[in-house]
Each structure stands twice: as C-alpha cells, then as structure tokens.
Copies of this chain bind each other. A is one copy, B any other.
Amino acid sequence: MFRGVGRLGHMSAQPLDSSEHRSGALLDHLARRMRLRSESVLAPLGLRPRHLVALTVLRAGGGTGQQALATILEMDSTNIVGLLNDLEAKQLIERRRSPEDRRRHVVELTEDGAKRLSEAECALAGAEDEVLGALDPAERETLYKLLSRASSGTAVNCTEAICVADDTC
C-alpha cells in the first residue's frame, strides 16, 4: 500500500486540496523526536544537536560572517559567539578575519570539522531509522533533498539580501 505513495514526486498540474496541509507541526514533532535521540548519540562526540545544525549550515554555505550566520540560524548574535567558541575550541571551525572588512570574522569548516560532521551523521543513522522508520531509503533521500533545498534556499536569500520581503502574503 505504501508502494503507491512512494511514487509521489511528479504531481504538478493538479490544483490539489493541499490548502491546509501545513508541515509546521509535523516538522516540529519529528525534529523533536530526532533531537531527543541525537543528544545521547552525539554526546560521546562532544557535540549537541545545535552544533550539528551550525556545522551543517556551514558546510552548505561556508565563508560567511557571524552576523550572516546569526541571520541564517535565526539566533541572537551573542549566542552565536558561544556556539562558535565551542566549535572553535574543538578545532571544528576556523575564524579568520576577512581581508576586505577586517571587522568581520569569516567562519569556515575545518577538515576536522567536516570529518567530525560526517562521523556524527553516520552515528545518527540509528536515530534516523527510529524516527523515519516508516520511510524507505528512497523516500528518505527525497525528504533530505527537499529539506536541503528549503534550507539552502532561504539561507541564500538571507545571506546576501537580508530578508527584504517579509510581508509578501
């Protein structure tokens, strides 16, 4: 029965009844379930879920200043500092002063950081199996791609032109 649903991904013409299909709550729900499991899995690696989010964002679009990072992660700049301090202390990221604007700290993933991130992701396979158990591998990949696009999409938007359109609906 799921097989049929697994085929989704090609509908585009239909007006759809999707008017009320808001993903927000589900996103919240699944993120929570995932985070709870991630914490225990990540602890041995000296990481917390929030660190992983930052590393993931940095891998996707590194070389940003901390301000931009604060915008992307939607965290207060003062809290970003602590977060990056953690990661820099573990040599997972580097803060280099930007040559063009020496006030800026350009944040980038180190080799160690990329490696650790991969390790962490591997270690999270079990957690993901529990939370996304109802989805087969292909569907999980689809999910990953959608989330990834959604994330980088808004990220790019906010990195350069800092959230111009706020009231577009």
Give A contacts to B, CB under 8 Å: 2-3, 5-12, 16, 18-36, 38, 49-50, 52-53, 55-57, 73-74, 118, 121-154, 157, 163, 165-169
Contacts and interface: CB of A to CB of B under 8 A. Distances in A.
Q: What is the copy number of this chain in the assembly?
A: 2
A26 B148 contact: yes
Given A11-B137, A33-B74, A23 B168 contact: no
Given A9-B136, A26-B56, A131-B154, 4 more contacts: A23-B140, A28-B49, A28-B50, A29-B53
Contacts of A8: 6, 138, 142, 145
Q: Give the one of A50, A55, A118, A147 with max B CB within 10 A.
A: A147
